[in-house]
């Protein structure tokens, strides 16, 4: 399972807010957000590992609207923000909050969630030797996932 912030939602806000990160962090400025279709799915990595078969990946794009306080609370859960000194974090949040206020008091963030699953070649689904059951269970999981949109 992976989550990516992708292009969409309040795009102008996310471009403008990079100036806050330039002022208050040592992080390099992002060059823009990728489109959801440009984010590679995780199935290739699982397949290359040689540990999984019948690998499937499902992608879900969705948007979440955040008020100023909700978005700043969300940022407070990110480790990079938590690692900032109090002074830098407060400055960053004041700067970001001002951009949210200019955007009308709320912003929308677009996300891409990806779920990649596969049948393990190295670890059985059951502790007892039930190879036939493992194969049937794996096929059932794959069949159910194939029905998702």
52-67 and 2-6 strand pairing: unpaired
Q: How many domains does the chain have?
A: 1
105 within 8 A of 67, measured Cβ to Cβ: yes
pTM: 0.74
67-100 pLDDT, tens digit per residue, is 999 999 999 999 889 999 999 999 999 999 999 9
In terms of Cα–Cα distance, which of 47, 33, 43, 31 is closest to 2? Answer: 43
Beta strands in 19-105 (DSSP E): 52-67
Domain that holds residue 47: 2-146
Cβ–Cβ contacts within 10 Å for residue 28, how many? 9
Helix (H, G, I), strand (E, B), or coil: what is residue 122?
A: coil
Tell me what pLDDT residue 145 has: 66
pLDDT for residue 114 is more than 60: yes
| 110 vs 122, more confident | 110
Q: What letter does residue 78 receive in the DSSP assignment?
A: S
pLDDT for residue 126 is more than 80: no
What band does 103 get if pLDDT is binned at 50, 70 and 90? very high
């Amino acid at each position: 399972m992976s989550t990516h912030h992708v292009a969409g939602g309040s795009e102008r806000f996310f471009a403008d807010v990079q100036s806050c990160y330039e002022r208050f962090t040592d992080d390099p400025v992002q060059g823009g957000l990728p489109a959801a279709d440009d984010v590679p799915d995780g199935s290739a990595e699982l397949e290359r590992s040689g540990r999984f078969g019948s690998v499937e990946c499902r992608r879900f794009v969705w948007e979440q609207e955040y008020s100023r306080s909700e978005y700043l609370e969300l940022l407070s859960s990110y480790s990079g923000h938590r690692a900032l000194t109090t002074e830098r974090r407060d400055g960053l949040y004041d700067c970001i909050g001002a951009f949210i206020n200019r955007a009308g008091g709320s912003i929308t963030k677009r996300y891409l969630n990806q779920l990649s699953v596969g049948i393990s070649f190295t670890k059985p689904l059951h502790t007892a030797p039930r190879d036939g059951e493992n194969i049937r269970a794996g096929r059932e999981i794959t069949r159910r996932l194939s029905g998702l949109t």
